[in-house]
Amino acid sequence: MERVLVTGGTGFVGAHCIVQLLGKGYTVRTTMRSLQRVEDVRSMLRVGGASEEAIAGVEFAQANLLEDTGWQAAVADCRYVLHVASPFPEGVPKDENELIVPAREGTLRVLRAARDAGVQRVVVTSSFAAIGYGHPASKKFFTEDDWTVAENPAVFPYIKSKTLAEAAAWEFIRREGGGMELSVVNPVGVFGPVLGADYSTSIYLIKRMLDGNVPGMPRIRFGSVDVRDVAELHWLAMTRPEAAGERFLCTSEHFVWAVELARILKAMGPVGRKVKTLVAPDFVIRLVGIFDRAVKQVESDLGKEKDATSEKAQRLLGWQPRPVAEAVRASAESLERLGLL
């Protein structure tokens, strides 16, 4: 069966991509910075529903986005590569290059190795962060044709890193791709079933809300998508001929206000008993942002009615994402089930 390399198999999206591929009969190899995490990945795959036989066939390769070593062996004999690995911190680093360099240079390392190995197509996991930031306040609706204005000083390091990494990937394909195909998936906030202690920053927000550590929701609007649907869109972008050379916004329905997530969780009963459904005044968020760099990142979005849809992915690839409420509830249920609350 065809072999697929998934970079960053220890991560939330990466592990779900592996589960999806195993269920479809692919041979999967995955990279990680240290092979000491092998059992962690196998555990996540079990929680995700993969069979023991399929898990036993998963191959592991040690490779770091900051080093050339290991990538040639990682991509050997692979037809496809899903480049999912990328840093996403809970806070803001003091030096933006802590994020930008691994994201951009790591992406180029993977692409060069894939090209040299004769890989047919690479799917890069980018983000809505590469689309919807740094624009005038009057711009409310975003599509795959939009790019974040990375030069805008209001754009934070993570957002800048995703933008520059994706731009570098497209430039590489144009200049030296050698016929290798590229597709890009741009997810919004990723929710859904947690498989272990590694999960997205979006899930961390859900956990904080369920723990009662979010006294009021900021007045921001953002997109949400279930991680299982993110994994499926990666597979579609990997295999469908019409996906070559395209980027796909990965979002369920329209964007929602943050307080709507709180209301979904509150309505779940006992698990949501600590959730606060108050909307925090903008000045409070700005005040907290002085002391909390993570909170400061949302300041530029306060009150903005941003929106986007996955119309392109649905039309071209037949992708059908789950509703936002289902993804949010699955996050909470899995956190409770795994004893992470």
Which residues make Cβ contacts (< 8 Å) with residue 10, sequence separation at least 6?
A: 32, 37, 40, 41, 44, 198
Cβ atoms 45, 15 nearer than 8 A: yes
Distance (Å) of CA 165 to CA 68, 109, 114, 218:
17, 11, 16, 29
Residue 82 and residue 16: Cα distance in Å, rounded? 12
Side chain identity, residue 102: P
Query: CA-based Rg of the chain, rounded to a whole angstrom?
Result: 19
Cβ atoms 296, 290 nearer than 8 A: yes
Cβ atoms 222, 235 nearer than 8 A: no
Distance (Å) of CA 66 to CA 83, 199, 333:
14, 22, 36
Active-site residue identified among 94, 139, 162, 266: 162
- Annotated catalytic, 162? yes
By annotation, the residues acting in catalysis are 162
